[in-house]
Amino acid sequence: MSWFTFPVDNLLCRCLSISITCLQYWLTLLFVFIIVPTVLGVSFGVCGLYMRTLLKIFEVSGILSSKKNIRPTRLISTQRAYLGRNIELWATSRIEKEAKEKNQQLYKPYSNGIIAKAQPSSLQQELLEVRGSAGGLPSEPEFEMVDIFFFCRRGVESILDDEVTKRFSAQELETWNLLTRSNYNFHHFSMRLTVLWGLGILIRYGVLLPVRVTLAATGISLLLVFTALVGLLPNKKLRFYLCEKVHLMCYRICVRALTAIITYHNRENKPKTGGICVSNHTTPIDVIILANDGRYSMVGQVHGGLMGMIQQAMTKSSPHIWFERSEVKDRHLVAKRLSDHVADKTKQPILIFPEGTCINNTSVMMFKKGIFEIACTVYPVAIKYDPRFGDAFWNSSKFGLVCYLLRMMSSWAIVCSVWYLPPMNREEGEDAVQFANRVKAAIAAQGGLVDLIWDGGLKRAKVKDAFKEEQQKLYSKVLVGEQEVGDERDNTHSEDTNQEEDERIQLPQMDNEDTVNV
């Protein structure tokens, strides 16, 4: 029977050799056209062209998705509606163009809000408004049966729309960007749109994804191999110098692997040694984006497996701060190690994300005060992603890390802007929490994000009972008559390890906290 298997064997061998040669050509092309220019820092301007083409395609898809099955009998009204929609699109793009010319970032608030934003008013004013129609003297601080309406209404309004829960899911888009995953509102499918979408799928999964995965794998293996080699060198200075170069190369390749198109602003404010760099947190990719443009010391837990190897490779060139799992709980140990690192002026700035968790890049949530207690200069950095090209937010309750990275690599691109803000120091008489909020406000203002006081930890934890008691206290004060308009205290901070409450004078109530109104 050997004569039967022989041609099959032959065929298999031939297939194998053909695929190996294909692979070789593929890798060579990749190497020559992508990896080498990346390492050398040369850019062909392809990315800019790619972005502009994509934007034009999204515009077309926006127009296509707003066109509906136009029935001939209702032509006039639907024409008017269609015209209206087009004018809206045109107007939006005009606004965007102008903003772009002025180098501003526009944050579009949710256009699908449910509740009309009313003027922020105090508890007392609202109660008076509710009571007012029930008769009786409004100035009498009595308990009225109708007061319950106020709390009822507030409760239902917060069920309908609250500032916090919507920060933990991906941002919604104005027009569809041809990714199924961002298809929340768009159900108007026409033939042309479906074709466009199908083409998009082919390009993204057939062309872009393999290239990117290969690049990422190459980048990481090069990092591990070269740092191992460089580690064998005897001369310490040379070792550090070469290690830095190797890291830079690896970050650049990873950036290409994600097709991250980054614009750095105000580079004169880049973090210097002996300081701490803080930034808003959307995704683990933030680290790569920042490290691409400067050298930082990372802070984090020691992992096993591939991550552990990468961590060890990174430590060879610069002093990163890795904590064992048991050490993380000890706040004093953590604070001491960070202070020691910062005090040593030869070491690179620490990179840290005070929010403690990933937020969806529409807002900045409470900064944990621990890092702001260390006496040193803080360099704030604001990172804003453009959601049209791919949603960078990592919803850790929905996907694991590997799944997330695959989604990133099959999006169109990751386009973001990084602003380096001027360094800030803690002022006289300012405590850590106030300092943290000042830094947070600066980052929110620059990135066009909403500045919230709520704790990002609410993603997983429940609200503490202290808050409910606060509302009760407020109401009691109104009844007893101690309350004066404009003098309300709202406790809205929460700490996970420390139970201290922060008394701050706050005018609006908890559901009207937007300080950046766009």
Give the residues lining the site for another protein (CB under 8 A). 66, 68, 70, 74, 77-78, 80-82, 84-85, 112-116, 118, 130, 133-135, 143, 145-149, 151-166, 169, 184-185, 187-188, 454, 458, 462-463, 467-473, 475-477, 479-480, 482, 510-511
Question: E-assigned strands of 208-314?
Answer: 260-265, 275-279, 297-301
Query: Which residues, at least 6 apart from 88, have a Cβ–Cβ distance to it below 8 Å?
Result: none
The burial class, CB within 10 Å (0-12 / 13-18 / 19+), for 168 is buried
Least distance (Å) between residue 169 CB and another protein: 6
Which residue, 93, 103, 100, 112, is CA-closest to 171? 112
CA–CA distance, 247 with 179 (Å, rounded to integer)? 33
- Of 59 and 162, nearer to another protein (C-beta) is 162
Q: Is 83 helix (H, G, I), strand (E, B) or coil?
A: helix
Least distance (Å) between residue 280 CB and another protein: 19
Query: In angstroms, how far is CA 251 from the centroid of its own chain?
Result: 19
- Of 15 and 115, nearer to another protein (C-beta) is 115
- Of 112 and 180, nearer to another protein (C-beta) is 112
Q: Is 316 helix (H, G, I), strand (E, B) or coil?
A: coil
Least distance (Å) between residue 416 CB and another protein: 25
- Of 31 and 189, nearer to another protein (C-beta) is 189
- Of 502 and 511, nearer to another protein (C-beta) is 511
CA–CA distance, 196 with 152 (Å, rounded to integer)? 48
Least distance (Å) between residue 64 CB and another protein: 13
CA–CA distance, 204 with 448 (Å, rounded to integer)? 30
CA–CA distance, 159 with 474 (Å, rounded to integer)? 21
Least distance (Å) between residue 437 CB and another protein: 18
- Of 100 and 398, nearer to another protein (C-beta) is 398
Q: Are 199 and 192 in contact (CB under 8 A)?
A: no
CA–CA distance, 96 with 78 (Å, rounded to integer)? 27
Least distance (Å) between residue 182 CB and another protein: 13
CA–CA distance, 188 with 462 (Å, rounded to integer)? 38
CA–CA distance, 436 with 75 (Å, rounded to integer)? 57
Residue 86 C-beta-side C-alpha neighbours within 13 Å = 11
Residue 186's identity, in one-letter code, is: F
Least distance (Å) between residue 253 CB and another protein: 36
- Of 22 and 160, nearer to another protein (C-beta) is 160
- Of 169 and 301, nearer to another protein (C-beta) is 169
Least distance (Å) between residue 473 CB and another protein: 5
